[in-house]
Structure 1
Amino acid sequence: MRAVVYEGPRQVSVKDVPDARIERPTDALVRITTTNICGSDLHMYEGRTDFEPGRWFGHENMGEVVEVGDGVDKLRVGDQVVIPFNVACGHCKNCERGLTNYCLTAQPETAFAGAAYGFADMGPWAGGQAELLRVPWADFNCLRLGEDADERASDYVMLADIFPTGYHATEMAGVQPGDQTVIYGAGPVGLMAALSATIRGAAKVMVVDRHPDRLALAESIGAIAIDDSEVDPVEAVLEQTMGLGADNGCECVGYQAHDPGGDEHPNLTMNRLVSSVRFTGRIGCVGVFVPQDPGASDELAKQGQLAFDYGMFWFKGQQLGSGQAPVKKYNRRLRDLIAEGRATPSFIVSHELPLDRAPEAYERFDAREDGWTKVVLKPGLAA
């Protein structure tokens, strides 16, 4: 089968790799019809993680079941499914509590928890930027789709990661009807958080970024765009909230946050959120942070540490939730919002490309070129 293979920093190729296959009775084999490039893939693409050359990416996956193991009861060949990026067993202590983002079975490293397809430090699972994907514990992990799966593939594929992840940010932030919510980052996840805040009834959603194409997308769903290359975003949020600060906020940038001049400051968005959110407000952080980052710009960040304004955070009585999203907690309800036309997450999609154009797509998405907001790869699409 063909797959997007990591060759080294900022170098991927599309080449033949061994076919995915059924390995255990509870597996399903899925022919990938739609798979996305995620901002999290860029951390690995840029060489900032220990992703091994020769492995292939892809944790936002959707496709058709073409084979099932003898232990699969629910799925049938021909089913259209979307697959959470979390690889989860469904029966460990964390999975039984709904914390599929921290599965203890799918992660072979006993000091860690949580697994994902084609992801550094998250188990051996092959990615789905390929023609085929092996899905373990398939009855548990696959979410079946309706008859409109092909027609609305660019909406449903967002259920694999970024739509539930954006929603998880608003869940941890406690967004309620009538709230004023600020979101740092207008990448795909930040835009999904803005969409989610709107769905949850926020009265005012503010999105901080500096890329005009991304800010325009935020405005297209009714959010207030704040360009931090033009204004102090904290002051802008305070001005929008009568000086009190937002009721809650979402961090959707992560450890590679940088200022308008291009210098990295891993603590930039977290500290701005502390300043932007009111006393007793809540913050949901889904931007990726890592225990170690040898390529970081300062010594603290190299050890996965931040110069965090904890004193002000404590003084304001704020609350913070963090970590990857338990996709299964949300994906069924979000699927139904899509099916009923209440949510259209594909508004962020800028390009639908064949798998063979993945190297170009990675290069241009990584460069944050204007107009490259979200890339969807179609393995079955002619080059």
Structure 2
Amino acid sequence: MKALVYEGPRKVVVKEMPDAKIERPTDVLVRITTTNICGSDLHMYEGRTNMETGRILGHENLGVVMEVGGGVERIKVGDRVCLPFNIGCGFCKNCERGLTGFCLTANPGMAGAAYGFAGMGPYSGGQAEYLRVPFGDFNCLVLPPDAEEKENDYVMLSDIFPTGYHATVLAGVEPGDSVAIYGAGPVGLMAAMSASIKGASKVMVVDSHPDRLALAEKLGAIPIDDSDGSSAEQILEMTGGEGADRGCECVGYQCSCKGHEVPNATMNNLIKAVRPTGGIGVVGVFVAEDPKADDKLAKEGRLALDFGQLWMKGQHIATGQANVKAYNRKLRDLIAAGKAKPSQIISHELPLEKAPEGYEHFDKRDDGWTKVVLKAAA
């Protein structure tokens, strides 16, 4: 099969790889039709992780079931399915509680597994023609009859739509709340959409890229340009000096401020911009260590956090990757009902063969390259 393979920092190639296949009775084999490039893929692409060379990337996947293992009962050949990026077993302590992003079975020795991701188990990614799905009955989300027509919407259920929604859940967004979102990348835009779905009265999205801010405004959010580093002050002014009720961190450890990486910038801005007793949800990726960081603390996975202000304001912070299965069914149904259209943030649709080009432009944050979907035709 053709697949996109990581061969080192900023070097990915599409080449022939051994076909994915059923390995265990609970596996499902999916022919991938659409797979996305995620901002998290860029951490590996840039060489900022311990991703091994020769691995197939891709954790945002959708396709058609081609074969099922002998132990699979619910999923049938021909089903169109979307796969949560995090792989859950369905029966461990965390999966039973709905915390599938922290499965204790799929990646022994660590809480959490994913397709084609550094440190998240041995599983190949789906930027390929075929994908092996472990624990297929549990992990496959079967799509409704309009799946082919709305494929670019449903593929967002693999990661960024649930992740954006998760940010609002961690922050505690309720109807009528004002919400400040740092990051107008795909996840931040999905957090803005999710905050609106949940009935937020005011959604403010912070970024320094004009094209992304324009897209945030198109989604009904108030764009805030942080090019001069004044975003927290702007949010305070827009909220009568009180601060936003809730804040969402959708950037992560490679946050840039005035052209330089400042890993703690978004967190400290949120502490400043969110009102006393407000909630902050953090879904941007922060890592246990970042040896290539310029910041001394960041090399060890640490942040200089304004904890005194956090404590004095009585704020709460909740963190972690999205438990996709906790949300993907309800979000699927919103798409089916025409009440959510996450595909509107897609900027480019490329064949799998042009994936390296997509990575290059997305990594450079070139204007207009907001969300890239890849079409894999087996």
TM-score range, shorter-chain basis? Answer: over 0.9
Name 1:98's counterpart in structure 2: 98
Output the amino acid matched with 1:85: F
The Cα of 1:16 is off from its aligned counterpart by 0.4
Separation of aligned partners in 1, 2:120 and 2:66: 26
TM-score, normalized by length of structure 2? 0.99
Q: SS at the partner of 1:70?
A: coil
Whether 2:358 is the aligned partner of 1:361: answer: yes
Which whole-Å CA distance do the structure 2 matches of 1:298 and 1:240 have between them?
Answer: 32
Aligned positions, number: 378
What's the secondary structure of 2:256's corresponding residue? coil
Q: Tell me the residue number matched to 1:161.
A: 159
Distance (whole Å) between structure 1 residues aligned to residue 225 and residue 215 of structure 2: 13
Residues 228-237 or 353-362, more deviating: 228-237
Note the alpha carbon deviations across 1:246-279, whole angstroms, 9 max, x for none. 000000000000112x111100000000000000
Match of 1:232 in 2: 230
Map 1:58-97 to 2 at 5 A: 58-97=58-97
Amino acid at match of 1:122: M
How far apart are 1:230 and its partner, in Å? 4.6
What CA deviation, in whole Å up to 9, does each residue of 1:271-321 have, x standing for no partner? 000000000000000000000000111211000000000010010000000
| SS of residue in 2 equivalent to 1:117 | coil
Where do 1:6-21 residues align within 5 Å?
A: 6-21=6-21
| Match in the other structure for 2:370 | 373
Q: Secondary structure at the match of 1:8?
A: coil
Aligned to 1:178: 176
Q: Which residue of 2 aligns with 1:323?
A: 320
RMSD between aligned alpha carbons?
0.8
TM-score, normalised via structure 1 length: 0.98
SS at match of 2:353: helix
1:347 is aligned, of 331, 344, 347, to 344
Structure 1: 5+ residue runs without aligned partners? none
Cα distance in 2, alignment partners of residues 324 and 118 from structure 1: 16
Instruction: Name the residue aligned to 2:290.
Output: 293
Q: Name the amino acid aligned to 2:353.
A: D
Matches for 1:111-260 after TM superposition, within 5 Å: 112-230=110-228, 232-260=230-258
Report deviation, 1:231.
6.0
CA distance in 1, matches of 2:295, 2:238: 34
Match of 1:44? 44
Supply the distance in 2 between the matched residues of 1:61 and 1:222 (Cα, whole angstroms).
Answer: 28
From 266, 270, 273, give the equivalent of 2:263.
Answer: 266
Q: 2:201 & 2:2 partners in 1: Cα distance?
A: 46
- CA contact 2:59–2:126 (8 Å) conserved in 1: yes
Contact 2:29-2:133 at 8 Å conserved across structures: yes
Is 2:6 aligned against 1:2?
Answer: no
Contact 2:229 2:257 in 1 (8 A): no
* d(CA) in 2 for partners of 1:230, 1:255: 20
Give the drift of 1:356.
0.3
Counterparts of 2:229 and 2:202 in 1: how far apart (Å)? 19
State the shift of 1:57 in Å: 0.5
Partners in 2 of 1:173 and 1:122 — Cα distance? Answer: 25
* Equivalent position SS for 1:107: coil
Give the Cα–Cα distance (whole angstroms) in 2 for the partners of residues 129 and 197 of structure 1.
30
- Please state how far the C-alpha of 1:6 moved relative to its aligned partner: 0.4
Aligned amino acid, residue 49 of structure 2: T
Deviations 1:114-165 (A, max 9, x none): 0000000000000000000000100000000011111111100000000000
CA distance in 2, matches of 1:210, 1:313: 25
Name 2:26's counterpart in structure 1: 26
**Deviations along 1:354-375, whole A, 9 cap, x unmatched?**
0000010000000000110000
User: What secondary structure sits across from 2:72 in the alignment?
Assistant: coil
Output the CA distance in 2 between the equivalents of 1:12 and 1:187. Answer: 22
Distance 2:11 2:37 in 1: 14
Q: How far apart in 2 are the matches of 1:309 and 1:239? A: 21
Letter in 2 for 1:285: V
* Whole-angstrom CA distance in 2 between matches of 1:295 and 1:201: 41
Aligned-pair identity in percent equals 69
Give 4+ residue runs of structure 1 displaced > 4 Å after superposition: none
Q: Deviations over 1:329-369 (max 9, x none)?
A: 00000000000000000111001110000010000000000
- Shift in Å, 1:376: 0.2
Q: Distance in 2 between matches of 1:231 and 1:113?
A: 36
